[in-house]
């Protein structure tokens, strides 16, 4: 799968995509593939103020549990409620319907990389 160029990536396999006044955050296709079948997702609380690099969610698969780190500082404004009943949406479309949360960004992590940099690090 081609890594989309319309977003930025963290070395810990999160992506962030600007969408108007907020940004959408999820995990990469590479990450969901490495995790295997996702069986549970613990999402952050709406209204929570987070710092870039802070653990904000947990994705559990049949293999392991993985912490999800915020790629930006700001306020969580929405979570993907569909994941509560259907965590497999992450496996079916980690880059679209399997997004995790939306954040009103104050500042992006200075460590984010573009698609080419992410592919080079994980190719």
What confidence score (pLDDT) does residue 44 get?
98
pLDDT of residue 73: 98
pLDDT along the chain (123 residues), means of 10: 92 96 96 96 98 98 96 98 97 96 97 96 88
Q: What is the pLDDT of residue 100?
A: 98
Rounded distance, CA 99 to CA 81, Å?
A: 10
Q: Which pLDDT value is given to residue 123?
A: 77
CB neighbourhood size of 24 (10 A):
19
């Amino acid at each position: 799968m081609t890594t989309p160029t319309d977003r930025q990536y963290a070395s810990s396999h999160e992506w962030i995509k600007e969408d108007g006044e907020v940004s959408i955050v999820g995990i990469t296709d590479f990450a969901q593939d490495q995790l295997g079948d996702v069986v549970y997702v613990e999402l952050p609380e709406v209204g929570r103020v987070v710092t870039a690099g802070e653990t904000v969610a947990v994705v559990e698969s049949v293999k392991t549990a993985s912490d999800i780190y915020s790629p930006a500082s700001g306020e969580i404004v929405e979570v993907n409620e569909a994941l509560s009943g259907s965590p497999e949406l992450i496996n079916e479309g980690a880059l679209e319907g399997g997004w995790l949360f939306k954040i009103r960004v104050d500042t992006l992590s200075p460590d984010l990389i573009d698609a080419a940099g992410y592919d080079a690090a994980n190719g």
